[in-house]
Amino acid sequence: MLLPLGGFSLGRVESMSNEAERRLELAALVVAGMDPTEVWPAYFGQTQFTEFELHAYLHGALALPEFERGYGGGNGRRSAVPRSQARPHGSRSAREDALAGLGAAGRFLLSPERAEEERLRSLTETNLLHTGHEEIFDRVVSMAKEYFGVGAASLSLIAANAQFLKSAIGPLRVETPREMALCTHTVRQDSMLVINDTLTDDRFATNPLVVGEPFIRFYAGYPLHGPRGWNIGTLCVIDQQPRQFSPSDQQVLRTLATIVQNNIDART
Q: Give the Cα-Cα-Cα angle 249, 268, 224 (nearest 5 degrees).
A: 25
| Residue type at position 41 | P
Residue 76 is predicted with a pLDDT of 33
Domain with CATH 3.30.450.40 in the chain: 125-267
Q: Is the per-residue pLDDT at 249 higher than 80? A: yes
Determine the average pLDDT of the residues in 111-115.
90
Superfamily of domain 125-267: GAF domain (3.30.450.40)
> Each residue of 212-236: pLDDT tens digit?
999 999 999 999 999 999 999 999 9
Measured between alpha carbons, how far is 241 from 44 in angstroms, rounded to an integer? 50
Strands 218-225 and 152-158: unpaired
Give which of 98, 107, 109, 105 is closest to 62, Cα–Cα. Answer: 109
pLDDT, tens digit, for every residue of 189-200?
889 999 999 999
